[in-house]
Amino acid sequence: MDPSEIRERVLDDHENLRTRLAMVESLSQRADDGEVYALDQLRDRGDELCRKLRRHLDMEDLHLVPLIQETRGREAARQLAAEHREQRLLFDFVLSRLRDAERPTRLVCREIQAFIDLLRDDMDMEEEELLVAAERQRRRPDEGASA
């Protein structure tokens, strides 16, 4: 994949993930308001969201991490890969909370909201990184093409 394809792929995934995050957020709010069906749906959608997120991270590890290494250096790439490892642990944590029938719904919903906020910030940050990477490659097209 060339850098512009990687950017497109990441942005496409993010758009899709943002739609899913909004859906999960709305279910979480309804569950928090006491809707029992919303809690069941939240479990299903949360599960599905985490699966999509994992696939997204796999794709980014494969394509985005090397691109960042090329444009921002080894340390930035190492940091992104480390964040992805932490995020995978976070997915397991959030899923275990969602599946825990004993846990008060209000607490689960707060954790879900914090999780959603974090993922949105993360996507915003990655998109800024992509802009920086695009700008660098525009200035140094020969180096960028050697990927």
Contact residues for Fe ion (CB under 5 A)? Answer: 60, 126
Task: Specify the residue, 23 or 81, whose C-beta has the smaller distance to Fe ion.
Answer: 81
Q: Minimum CB separation from Fe ion for residue 138, in Å?
A: 22
Alpha carbons 130 and 8: distance in angstroms, whole number: 10
Alpha carbons 90 and 88: distance in angstroms, whole number: 5
Cβ neighbour number for residue 77 with a 10 Å cutoff: 19
Q: Minimum CB separation from Fe ion for residue 34, in Å?
A: 33
Q: Minimum CB separation from Fe ion for residue 14, in Å?
A: 6
Task: Specify the residue, 23 or 90, whose C-beta has the smaller distance to Fe ion.
Answer: 90
Closest residue to Fe ion: CB criterion: 60
Q: Minimum CB separation from Fe ion for residue 89, in Å?
A: 14
Alpha helices in the chain (DSSP H): 3-32, 36-59, 65-72, 74-99, 105-139, 141-145
Task: Specify the residue, 67 or 108, whose C-beta has the smaller distance to Fe ion.
Answer: 67
Task: Specify the residue, 25 or 60, whose C-beta has the smaller distance to Fe ion.
Answer: 60
Whose CA is closest to 29, among 116, 137, 133, 134? 116
